[in-house]
Every structure is written in C-alpha cells, then in structure tokens.
Amino acid sequence: ARKFIVGGNWKCNGTRSMITDLCKELGKGESIAGKNVEVVIGTPYLYADYTRKNLRPDWSIALQNSWVGKGGAFTGEISAEMIKDIGVGWVILGHSERRNLPQLKESDETVAIKTKYAINNGLQVMFCCGELLEEREAGKTMEVNERQCAALAAKLDVADWAKVVIAYEPVWAIGTGKVASPEQAQEVHEKLRAWLAKAVNPRVAAQTRIIYGGSVTDKNCMELAQKPDIDGFLVGGASLKPDFLKIVDAYKAK
C-alpha cells in the first residue's frame, strides 16, 4: 500500500513570529508516528532551521527549490548538497509558479535535471506537474502532464522513482478557490499512473505516490482522499492555517 503523504508549501510567506505561532498550533494535532501518513512542510530557505526547531518532530521539512547541479559561482542559488547538509531531506521542484511565472520560466528539461541531481545527492523530491486553464480547455491536459513527466523519465533510472512523489497541480486551481472535482482529479491521477506503467514499468506505477494540489481545504480533502489514485496532497495557502491539521487527517479516509 502507498503511504499517504501531505505536503505543506508555505511559498514566499512567513516571519519568525508567524512560524512560532503556527508551529504551536500545528503541534496540537495527534501524533502521526506509526500511522499510514507522513507530513512534509516546504519552508522558505531562510527559515529552514528555525522551522525545524519549532515544528513538531513527527513532521519533516522540505525546501522549495534547488540548483541544477553542484554549488559554485551561482549567486543566489541553493545546492542539493547544502539542503542535505542542514538535515533537510526533501525538496519541491517544478512547481507551476516556477514553470510559468515570467520572471522564472523553468523548462521541463531544467526541472528534470534538478530532480535527478537532487536524488543523486540524497534528497526526496516532490515533482510538480499540471496544466494551465487554456491547456485544459483545449483538451491538452494529459499531453501537458505527460510531456512534463516524460522529461523527468528521460533523466531517471528506475530505482530513482522510489525518491519521487508526483504532485499533480492543475494551475487553474492553485490559489483560485477553484478545485478540480474529485472525479476530475482521480481521472488525471489514474491516467498518470497508466502512463508510468507504460513509460517506466508497472511496479513503479503501482508504488509511486501521486498527490493532488489545487485549493485543497479542510472542506474538500476527505472526499478527494477517498479516490484510489490520490495518495495525498500538496497544500498551499491552507498549510499556513491551523486547519491544516484537518487536511492531514484525511489519511483516515483511505
């Protein structure tokens, strides 16, 4: 059985004071030690150590990006080796904001290279994919998602997939209040799993966790979690609120 996983992506938000207060609230939830769920919080680089000191010990930390290779003369970048060195085991890569914001525009190839390098240096990766609204309306949902995942598959060895969680995030549903219906989300997850079986192999398809992101809240998480190919969530704004605990509890719907 695939272990349920809930990621919280704080994005470019937070202060030491906010993190102190939020971690105190999140610490009130029941322990997940020994349960069929894991939680990973994506904190801004600056607050990784501070978050780790304040966050409950049964939850893990991720950073939200990393450089394509080894460190060096790359001003402003963070290498996978640095992330590993401070005791962080996860990184979020390929988020739609990094793929689509005009100031960033990371290509499929760049995201794939980053992912391979992070895995080679001992990190686990939440690899994001997802289509824009105009791509969905043009009937290109799977074309886009398969293209993004195919760039990754071209870089990975079969064993590498054990370090990858695929986060399907329809861009039109991120931070908009719109959410793919459980049926829409399940359809894409099921097709992504079928694609993995064909493009990589059936074992990888069966074992890889595919999680949903896109305006997940404490109100819709239970229904989404009941779908067989939805293995958890990557949560944005709602992860900055105490009600994130209710989203973590969605693992109980499995």
Query: Annotated active-site positions, please?
Result: 95, 169
Q: What is the CA radius of gyration of the chain?
A: 17
Would you say 44 and 16 are in contact if contact means Cβ atoms under 8 Å apart?
A: no
E strand or H helix at 126, and its extent? strand 124-129
Residue 62 dihedral angles phi and psi, to the nearest 5°:
-125, 155
Extended strands (E) in 119-252: 124-129, 164-168, 209-212, 232-235
Would you say 98 and 106 are in contact if contact means Cβ atoms under 8 Å apart?
A: yes
Distance CA 133, CA 84 (A): 36
Instruction: Look at residues 235, 231, 251 and name the one whose alpha carbon lies nearest to residue 243.
Output: 235
Q: Return the biggest CA–CA distance within the chain.
A: 48
> Which residue intervals of 44-125 are DSSP H helices?
48-54, 80-85, 96-100, 108-120
The alpha carbon of residue 251 and the mean position of all alpha carbons in its chain are separated, in whole angstroms, by: 16
